[in-house]
Amino acid sequence: MRYTLSFICVVFLLLQEVVAHKATLCANDLLARNAICNRSLSSKERASALVQALTLQEKLNNVGKTALGVPCIGLPPYKWWNEGLHGLGISEGVNFSTSGEFAYATSFPQRECLGLNWTPGWLLMKGLAITMGAAFDDALIYAVASVISIEARAFNNFNRAGLDLWTLNINLFKDLRWGRGQETLGEDSFHVLSYAYHYVTGLQGGIDPKQRKVTATCKHFVAYDIENWQGNVRYGFDAMVSTYLIQTVVREHWGWNHDDQWIVSDQDAIQNIFMPHNYATTRERSVADVLNAGVDLNDGIYYTDYLRLAISQNLTTEATLDQALIRLYSSLVKVGYFDSDATQSYSSLSWSDVNTAAAQQLAYQAAVEGTVLLTNDGTLPLHVTPTTSIALVGLWGIAPTDLQGTYAGNAPFLRSPLSALQSRNITVNYAYGNAGERDPSTDDWSNAVAAANKSDYVIFMGGISSLDENEGQDGGTAIMDIVLGKVSPAGRLPVTQYPSSYVNEVDMTNMALRPGPKSPGRTYKWYNGTAVFPFGSGIHYTTFTASIIQPTGTHSYNIQNILSKCDKRTNRLDQCLFKNISAAITNTGTTTSDFVTLLFISGKFGPTPYPLKSLVAYERIHNIPGSGAHTVILKLTLGSLSRIDENGNTILYPGSYSLLVDQPTQATFNFTLTGKEAIIDAWPVKSKIK
């Protein structure tokens, strides 16, 4: 009889799904009978009570990205797939209205990919630079994430979004040929770690807030480096389901073991394990292997369709399924999904909190801060008068619908570079340029030549595809404000720009970072060639000097003495503070500008070969006036001094160390570590690999 009721509930659901259910879930008399509504219990106890009330089929109906709910007990459907990479994005869980309220949300930059925008004398790099990563501004990242989560809450209050966001992409951008690099933050692990920390805490409202704003879902674990290269596609590699990676590393070693911390598959990845990866011999074996390994949610339909058969064949258990559902519903408890408005921190948020004036200014600021100027002979900024004329050439100058990039939502407005120029009191001559810009066999620049002949300046914005131009809602304004000198560029390149020959020197399937017989190395840490533009490149409309304020006392430190001063109550020795390094930054020019202070470490410590240098700290200083000075304090931790050995252990080695400020280096500080090498994080052994 219970299964019959389950079927009736599903049919009823299809009729009810379009109806808003803004009312408090626990105000429903049916659901209120369950301890999920007892706020005196822990999130695990509440979620467990709900899961215990479900039949097996009802459990299966709620372990996919589109959870069907159980209307018979007052549990509504829930769509887990909600995008929020650079603003609320179009996805199953985010429902934009066709007009009026909730028709859009603030759109932040993903990347400013304007290729190499060249005119004689200057090079503005917004290509292959992920915009907010290029800003090197953690406070900005936190503020952007906070706005996105506030808008998600406002949408949720009116049943237009879920309370988990599938963001952000924490993969390293190790090869510029990869098809997903615009989603990432750059090639450096420290930079990505710091960015991710501030983005996630911004989304969630802190590390462990009393009530979480939304649940952040970072991706992709464990690695993702190739989309399609010379017939090698992402689905063409041997796959594995690793209990070691998911259970031993993530849940046990990294402590991802709280009741509300869950893991979701990539889209159709569980299906792919069966076909085309051919890892599992049957579909039921595929779902069982993945569930047993610790994946709680299926971005697809395989769990719902095949877990019953897997359980009947004793390949997995209903108790394992229960554990997955408890984690999922515990996270919904944490965001207050079931509770009344009176107990909610964000229940009053509404349409008036979406795309506010402050949010619009922040989107503009993010686009400005992420702009990187690579060369300039003094042509920029352009000095214009009412009689000045500018030729804007290229499809990227007018790409209004392509300004947002992947995983975008509806923007309130999209200001292209052309519209931004036209708003100034100057003459603008626009030309599409080569009609076959995406096709080298077509070569007709007559319209561009005509526009250039009647203009004082020419700005070219073009490339392979306008789909690569991801500036956010106000990126066009930001670009032109920089070109015309209203604001100053100060971003830094978060990737290495290699020479064109690099694509013939390194196979994309060669994932090694260190140089070898068939590779000059990857990333700024190991590349032994001459980069066109190194990681961290970026100049200004002014000049800066940077120096290290030399620490007083000895410049030799004993490893065992350092460790003895760390807090013994924590097992995170990598976060133990070694020293605060002070750097003096002076604007030696006349133009007010931001400055990104980059601190690298190099030296001879640990096994050879040694990395060329590694980023260990950074800080963006805002609005330093001409002749002005600022002292920045950079935190140096034991993790910053360490290296990883071949077994994955994080080790503090004796040896000689050098701190380097800026790219290119402007100042150094040398010191030594003595004593015995010490493991500050022991990587779990791989004996548990399945």
Residues recognised as catalytic: 266
CA 630 – CA 548 distance, rounded (Å) = 12
Phi, psi (degrees; rounded to nearest 5) at 122: -150, 155
The amino acid at 343 = T
The three state secondary structure string of 590-638 is CCCEEEEEEEEEEEEECCCCCCCCEEEEEEEEEEECCCCEEEEEEEEEH
Within 10 angstroms of residue 583's Cβ, the number of other Cβ atoms is 25
Based on C-alpha coordinates, what's the Rg of the chain? 27
Q: Tokens in use for 597? A: 């202070």
CA 307 – CA 313 distance, rounded (Å) = 10
| Burial of 627 per CB tally in 10 Å (0-12, 13-18, 19+) | exposed
Residues 426, 384: contact at Cβ < 8 Å?
A: yes
Which residues does 340 contact at the CB level (< 8 Å), separation at least 6?
24, 26, 27
CA 640 – CA 593 distance, rounded (Å) = 29
Compute the Cα dihedral for 671, 675, 680, 684 and give only its sign: positive
Distance of CA 313 to the CA centre of its chain: 40
Contacts of range 14-22, beta carbons closer than 8 Å, 24 or more positions apart: 16/71, 16/76, 17/77, 20/158, 20/159, 21/76, 21/159, 22/157, 22/158, 22/159
CA 376 – CA 560 distance, rounded (Å) = 49
CA 395 – CA 213 distance, rounded (Å) = 39
Which residues does 30 contact at the CB level (< 8 Å), separation at least 6?
72, 73, 74
Residues 218, 196: contact at Cβ < 8 Å?
A: yes
- Side-by-side strand order, sheet with 678-681: 643-644, 650-652, 678-681
CA 561 – CA 580 distance, rounded (Å) = 17
CA 336 – CA 102 distance, rounded (Å) = 22
CA 140 – CA 363 distance, rounded (Å) = 10
CA 145 – CA 362 distance, rounded (Å) = 11
- Side-by-side strand order, sheet with 577-587: 544-549, 577-587, 629-637
Residues 242, 250: contact at Cβ < 8 Å?
A: no
Q: Tokens in use for 287? A: 């779902």
Within 10 angstroms of residue 254's Cβ, the number of other Cβ atoms is 10
Q: Which helix (H) or strand (E) holds 271?
A: helix 269-274
* DSSP sequence for 67-107: E--BGGGTB--EE---B-SSSSB-BTTB---SSSTTS----
Q: Tokens in use for 676? A: 């015995």
